Structure formats: C-alpha cells, structure tokens
Amino acid sequence: MLAPWVPIALQRAWATVAAASTRAPHGCDSVPAMLGTVPGLRVTPVNARAGRVVLYFHGGGYVIGGPRSHGKLAAQIAHAARSEAWLVDYRLAPEQPHPAALEDALAAYRWLSQRDGIGRIALAGDSAGAGLALALAVSIRDLKLPPPVALVLVSPWTDLTLSGESQRTHRGRDPMLRRAWLAACAAHYAADVPLEGPALSPLFADLAHLAPTLIQVGSEEILLSDSERLAERAKQAGVCVRLSRFEGMWHDFQVHAGVLAEADRALAEIGTFIDRCVE
C-alpha cells in the first residue's frame, strides 16, 4: 500500500486499519485534545508520574498517519516512560506542505511548555515524526525556548534527499518502506523547498547543544543510514547520544510491542532512557 501509485486517501485508510495490530497497554486513557490551536491526542497511562510529559510525533512520510494510526504506539511509549503523552495531529502534505508540520509542532510545544505543572518534556517520534521531532529540537534551541530534557527517535527519517548508503544496500530488505514511496513523500512535503534544507532534512542541521538523544533502528531498514549518520554527527556536535541497532528488525518494529520480544526490549529501553533524563 505504501507506493506512490496508490492514492493517498487509500494509504491513509490503510494506515488506520494496519494499526489494529498494535496493542495498547492496559489502563491507558486516550482522549482527543487540543494543544492550544493544534489538534492531538492526550494519553494518560495508569503509571504516569506528575510533571513529566512526552510530546509525540507520528510517522507516515508527512502524508499519512495521525491519532488513529499511531495512538497505541504513543500509549506504549507513554506507559514505558511512566509519562503522560500528547500526540500532535500535525497538518499533512500534500494539502499542507512544509512548513505546516513544523509550525504545528512548534505551536504545540510552546503551548505545552507554558502549562502549569509541566517542567520536563521529552520529544519523541517515529520515522518522519522522529525527523520532525529533531527539526523541532533545533528550532527550540535557535529560538531560545525552554529546552526539552530528552529526544527519542524511533527509525528516524532525517534525510529527505535519500542519499544514505542503505537506500541502495537495503532496497529489498525492509518489508515496510520503499525508496519510490519515500521520494514521493519528500516531494509532497517539500513542495518548492530544497530537500537538503535543515528544516526538511535535520541530518544536515547544526546539532550542537541538543538534549540527550536515543536513536533506535532496525538492521534491515532502508533508513538505517539516516540513524547511523545522525548518531555520528550528533556525537561530533557534543550531544550525548545513544544508537541502539536491533538486529534482524525492520522499520518501526516497535509497533509490535506485546507481541515481539525485540519490540518489548526497545520500549523498555525508551522508558529507562526517559527516566534517567527527567529525574
């Protein structure tokens, strides 16, 4: 279904149906909510600790996805982190190309950081959402806003130019993503903006002074090079970064938490990482 010749409306419907395979943690309350002017989903697990929040950005190549497709993954991360989570339902391309998603992300972060009792915000996301979270972190730093305490990037898409070596070497190994679909998504999202611009491809941004960062990636991903290069560039910029590579795993395998042992291990690592950053 994730192919450039499949109508985007059908891709969006498929993403919602496919989400049925993701298990939600027990005792997790999810309700639609507004982050100021930006729609989203508020997720509250039974084990949430006061004052800690995960601001979550869903994947989908900037053209599909939202609370119905990624709400349960956000809940899994919230439960692992013992945190309330807010999933941002940012505007999608091609109807709303860049900078709409980043504008929504920044507006949501401004609103959340100004709420009473909110002092420790972790940014998290998967795939394109992880790229958006990284671009947001750079914007927060440049605007001198109160910084997040952590970044959690799951299978991040950080290079819309598709220049990574794994785009060639892993072309047939990732069961989920194909280069042609990624190229179409990049074109929809960028419109007339150069793909190598750091707001679109935060791999090429100045990464100095960002929060401690956890990157998780599967060894079979076509986006493997995005994670490996990001980890190296972040390290060179002085960021405290951890790259966790899961052998034999594919793009966004964390959606199978509760079914796949590697996904459970990945979620546990996310929880431990956020714990260390917020305490």
**CB–CB of 101/64 below 8 Å?**
no
Residue 3 lies in a domain: no
Question: How large is the average pLDDT for residues 33-51?
Answer: 95
Whether 21 has a pLDDT exceeding 90, the answer reads: no
Question: How large is the average pLDDT for residues 3-12?
Answer: 96
Residue 1 lies in a domain: no
pTM above 0.75, yes or no: yes
Residue 2 lies in a domain: no
* Lowest mean pLDDT segment, chosen from 81-85, 126-130, 171-175, 187-191: 171-175
Q: What are the residue numbers of the active site?
A: 127, 221, 251
Look at residues 87, 63, 88 and name the one whose alpha carbon lies nearest to residue 75.
87
Q: Give the residue numbers spanning the domain of 99.
A: 8-278
**CB–CB of 262/200 below 8 Å?**
no
Whether 115 has a pLDDT exceeding 90, the answer reads: no
pLDDT range class, residue 116, cuts 50, 70, 90: confident
Our count of domains for the chain comes to: 1
Whether 173 has a pLDDT exceeding 80, the answer reads: yes
Residue 146 lies in a domain: yes
Pairwise CA distance, residues 159 & 17, whole Å: 28
CATH number of the domain to which 90 belongs: 3.40.50.1820
What does the DSSP 8-state code read for residue 92?
A: -
Whether 4 has a pLDDT exceeding 80, the answer reads: yes
CA 128 to chain centre: 6
Residue 22 lies in a domain: yes
Residue 67 lies in a domain: yes
Per-residue pLDDT tens over the stretch 175-191: 999 999 999 999 999 99
Provide the 10 A C-beta neighbour count for residue 112.
18
Whether 279 has a pLDDT exceeding 80, the answer reads: no
**pLDDT for res 223:** 98
| Mean residue pLDDT across the chain | 96
